[in-house]
Amino acid sequence: MANQKQAVGSGGKSQLREAEANRFLAARGVNMVACQAAPSPEEAAKMAASIGFPVVLKLDSPEILHKTEAGGVVVGLATTAAVRAAGHEILKRAREYRPNAEIIGLLVQPLIKGGREVIIGGVHDPQFGPVVMFGLGGIHTEVLRDLSFRMAPLTFEHATDMIQEIRGFPILCGTRGQGARDITSLAELLVRIGQVMVDHPEIGELDLNPVAVLGEGSGCVVLDALIRLR
Amino acid sequence: MKERPGKPDNTASLDRFFQANSCAIIGASANPTKAGHQILNNMLSAGFPGSIYPVNPRATRIANLPCYPSLTAIPGQVDLVIITTASATIDRVAADIEQRCREKADLRAVIITGAGFAETGTDEGCERQKLLINCCRRNDLRAMGPNCIGIIDNHHHIDTTFLLGTSREPGGIGFVSQSGAMGAWLGMIWSSQPRPIGFGKFVSLGNIADVDLVEMVHYLGTDPLTSVIGLYLEGDRQARRLMETLREIVPKKPIVVLKVGRTDQGRAAAHSHTGSMAGADRIYDGVFRQYGVLRANSVEELSDTLQAFDHLPLPRGNHAFLITQAGGPGVYCADALAQAGGIQFAAVAQATKEALRLASPPFASVCQPEGHLDISPGATARQHAEVVEIALRDEAVDALLLIALPVMFMSGEALADELIQAITRVRASGINKPFLPVIMAGEWVRESRRRLGEAGILTFETPDRAARALANMVAYQKFCSSSVSGG
């Protein structure tokens, strides 16, 4: 248990930034989007060239966790010049958003196309202990509250039923020219997140938002992750 | 979960309440305005088979029983003590319990119905509760309450409540309630049926100073006389332990929960997306579904579903057939079945359709759509019974709903008599499927429903209530036969 604790909460922090959460979850078998840390826009441009375009560029700061609000995410950059320019812009906006925030640099990730985005959450509830949440994200989550909850650990059947419970489930089965999504892989991911929540009671809340669910047989990729410690 | 010290952690110790051989009622009274009077009355009317010892220093005889000045003055064996007096008397009562345990060592369990304890939130109330419970723990007594209405067990003829109108008919329903009044409400609903509905056990836990919800639910799970468990739940701080207990029981017997109260605990403290979305009620909802616990949305649905599980066989599948003699109510029921979810309409064999047509009046609408027979208001009682029998004998039918609204030329009583004969024939040929008749409505069909009830045929109040009870049975059957239950 002491080792696991150390694995999550290095140095008495209350939350892990994306790069840390990405490493932590990838080490536990969660299919995280490839994520490279670049100290500068120039380095980021070089990394993007080696990863292959288009890429996503994100701010890496332990003090700005809601990156989108700070203008810290730019999607679909197709050239080294574009990456460099976006990198400078992200850093500038971050300094404006919170002048004294510690900024580590930038994260470069490949752009994952063709996925239907969903949200997976974990919470250590005071009454229920580890709990897993699932929803379609966006307005489905925020406005319609179309979500399902299960107590962890989950079986594969529990996870499948949890996916089918939401009203928006038909969207994952294929609509409007989009094929069916990889629901098997999504259910496996829910099971795995449940296990992470059980194995790590020190995690208070965990957000995988968004998760890209690809076409049948192509799996799921977690595009962003945030972990808060209890 | 760590057990509190001094608390015997064995479910069997709860037998001490339900299977007591003798009982002392502290505060028994000849005054009908006192709880101690009504509790004594209920113990007597339940037909408690053991000795009952009223305790009251101001009386020598109550209800033709010798009355004792104190617990310690009772000469015979005492298993169970019911404390009906106010919390202000608790020093004296606890001292008497101590003395009796020293001298006779016969006491096993205590039910504290009196109020004025921890539920008041005052230091005094909490102190009194602690004093009493510590006294029980020291002497290895199990305690229920305080501030509860105690238990009813119609198999063991015990009723420690002051409730009105409780049915004494034994049955398979076991009901645990975080509110005594919810239990009272259900009990009144059941005893007001044209043919009163029986139940096995009722428990109100009050302040839960010793016997807790999880323990009691576990006890009902292992109780061979309990076939279905009902639960009125406002919330439990040990939700995880409760859910794990329910999960173990569900494959053995159905559990129906009426869960109220939406707590925001944890929400305010949560910062992330997930945390703010997870109200405890949403989690309850998901976990009930995860473990196959049925959630009722109303007292009516709770009552109907518990009755249905106790009286009807489980459907083998989810295909229902609907027979109606009344057009609108039939459509209303079809809507309710569709809305309840999980139920499909049965497509019966061609030969069955022919037989239904022959048995129905000329203007009947047969299986248009599938699974729906409208026999029209012209149908006689005999015709009702014939089509019921034909439909039940079809392999594709897992459950049958009948809606009838007796008219001037078909009496409800005649309908009941014909249905009883038809169902008897069907059962005699080895077919046992859920049959849910809805005979409408109110006082006009009381005798009809009473006759059916006497013959062991459960009836329902309205089409939608029958539909929801059936949908819950189908959901349970599906859960038990699916791999989800294995997880």
- pLDDT band, very low/low/confident/very high, at B1 (cuts 50, 70, 90): very low
- Minimum-distance CB partner of A150 among B240, B273, B287: B287
Look at residue B252 in the predicted model and tell me its pLDDT.
96
Nearest CA to B361 out of B325, B415, B334 is that of B325
Query: Is the CB of A103 inside 8 Å of chain B's CB atoms?
Result: no
Query: Per mean pLDDT, which range of A165-179, B5-19, B134-148, B350-364 is the poorest?
Result: B5-19
Q: How far apart are CA B6 and CA B464, in angstroms?
A: 49
Look at residue B341 in the predicted model and tell me its pLDDT.
87
Does pLDDT of B265 surpass 80?
no
Contacts of B131-138 with C-beta under 8 Å, sequence gap 24+, read B131/B90, B131/B91, B131/B94, B132/B90, B132/B93, B132/B94, B132/B209, B133/B209, B133/B210, B135/B94, B135/B97, B135/B98, B136/B97, B136/B110, B136/B210, B137/B5, B137/B6, B137/B7, B137/B210, B138/B6, B138/B98
Look at residue A142 in the predicted model and tell me its pLDDT.
76
**How do residues B172-189 score in pLDDT, each as one tens digit?**
999 999 888 888 899 999
Does pLDDT of A7 surpass 90?
no
Number of residues that this document lists for chain B: 487
With a CB cutoff of 8 Å and minimum separation 6, the contacts of A161 are: B289, B290, B484
- pLDDT band, very low/low/confident/very high, at A69 (cuts 50, 70, 90): confident
Does pLDDT of B419 surpass 60?
yes
Does pLDDT of B298 surpass 70?
yes
Look at residue B5 in the predicted model and tell me its pLDDT.
41
Q: Which residues of A touch B275 (CB under 8 A)?
A: 121, 123, 204-205, 228
Question: Encoding tokens for residue B169?
Answer: 């008919």
Question: Encoding tokens for residue B371?
Answer: 């699974």
**How do residues B13-67 score in pLDDT, each as one tens digit?**
999 999 999 999 999 999 999 999 999 999 999 999 999 999 999 999 999 999 9
- Across B343-360, average pLDDT: 97
From chain A residues 112-141, the ones with a CB under 8 A of any chain B CB are 119, 121-123, 125-129, 131, 133, 135, 141
Q: How many Cβ pairs closer than 8 A exist between chain A and B? A: 101
User: Which residues face A55 on adjacent strands?
Assistant: A77, A110
Query: Is the CB of B480 inside 8 Å of chain A's CB atoms?
Result: no
Tell me whether residues B273 and A128 touch, CB distance under 8 A: no
CA dihedral sign, ordered B475, B478, B484, B487: positive
Q: How far apart are CA A93 and CA A115, in angstroms?
A: 28
Tell me whether residues A205 and B274 touch, CB distance under 8 A: yes
Collapsing DSSP to helix, strand or coil, B47 comes out as: coil
Tell me whether residues B487 and A119 touch, CB distance under 8 A: no
ipTM for the predicted complex: 0.89
From chain A residues 181-200, the ones with a CB under 8 A of any chain B CB are none
Does pLDDT of B158 surpass 70?
yes
Look at residue B485 in the predicted model and tell me its pLDDT.
53
Query: Is the CB of B1 inside 8 Å of chain A's CB atoms?
Result: no
Task: Please report where in the chains the tokens 């509250």 appear, as a residue.
Answer: A145
**How do residues B373-404 score in pLDDT, each as one tens digit?**
999 999 999 999 999 999 999 999 999 999 99
With a CB cutoff of 8 Å and minimum separation 6, the contacts of B222 are: B11
Q: How far apart are CA A104 and CA B73, in angstroms?
A: 81
Q: How far apart are CA A115 and CA A122, in angstroms?
A: 22
Look at residue A46 in the predicted model and tell me its pLDDT.
95
Look at residue A139 in the predicted model and tell me its pLDDT.
79
Query: Is the CB of B58 inside 8 Å of chain A's CB atoms?
Result: no
Q: How far apart are CA B483 and CA B147, in angstroms?
A: 42
Collapsing DSSP to helix, strand or coil, B255 comes out as: strand
- pLDDT band, very low/low/confident/very high, at B483 (cuts 50, 70, 90): low
Radius of gyration (Cα) for chain A, nearest Å?
Answer: 18
Look at B194 and A138; give whichever has higher pLDDT: B194
Radius of gyration (Cα) for chain B, nearest Å?
Answer: 26
Does pLDDT of A188 surpass 90?
yes
Does pLDDT of B267 surpass 60?
no
Nearest CA to B172 out of B235, B209, B121, B227 is that of B227
**How do residues A129-179 score in pLDDT, each as one tens digit?**
999 999 998 778 777 789 999 999 999 999 999 999 999 999 899 876 778
Q: Where are the beta strands (DSSP E) in B39-124?
A: 51-55, 61-62, 65-66, 80-83, 109-112
Q: How far apart are CA A200 and CA A197, in angstroms?
A: 5
Tell me whether residues A151 and B243 touch, CB distance under 8 A: yes
Query: Is the CB of B265 inside 8 Å of chain A's CB atoms?
Result: yes
Q: What is the mean pLDDT of chain A?
A: 91
- Across A64-84, average pLDDT: 92
Look at residue A137 in the predicted model and tell me its pLDDT.
82
Nearest CA to B347 out of B377, B317, B327, B383 is that of B317
Look at residue B21 in the predicted model and tell me its pLDDT.
95
**How do residues B307-330 score in pLDDT, each as one tens digit?**
999 999 999 999 999 999 999 999
% of residues, chain B, pLDDT over 70:
93
- Across B259-284, average pLDDT: 56
- Across B273-294, average pLDDT: 78
Q: Which residues of B touch A123 (CB under 8 A)?
A: 266, 270, 274-275, 278
- pLDDT band, very low/low/confident/very high, at B264 (cuts 50, 70, 90): low
Collapsing DSSP to helix, strand or coil, B363 comes out as: coil
Look at residue B268 in the predicted model and tell me its pLDDT.
41
Nearest CA to A219 out of A114, A82, A66, A102 is that of A114
Nearest CA to B381 out of B353, B408, B357, B417 is that of B417
Tell me whether residues B240 and A127 touch, CB distance under 8 A: yes
pTM of the model: 0.92
Look at residue B53 in the predicted model and tell me its pLDDT.
98
Q: Which residues of B touch A69 (CB under 8 A)?
A: none
Q: How far apart are CA A199 and CA A152, in angstroms?
A: 10
Contacts of B442-445 with C-beta under 8 Å, sequence gap 24+, read B444/B406, B444/B412, B445/B194, B445/B406, B445/B412
Look at residue A5 in the predicted model and tell me its pLDDT.
43
- pLDDT band, very low/low/confident/very high, at A1 (cuts 50, 70, 90): very low
* Most distant pair of Cα atoms in chain A: their distance: 52
- pLDDT band, very low/low/confident/very high, at B269 (cuts 50, 70, 90): very low
Instruction: Transcribe A6-28 into DSSP letters.
Output: HHH-TTS-SEE-HHHHHHHHHTT
The residue of chain A nearest to residue B270, with distances taken between CA atoms, is: A205
Question: Encoding tokens for residue B120?
Answer: 């008041």
Q: How far apart are CA A4 and CA B222, in angstroms?
A: 38
Tell me whether residues B238 and A131 touch, CB distance under 8 A: no
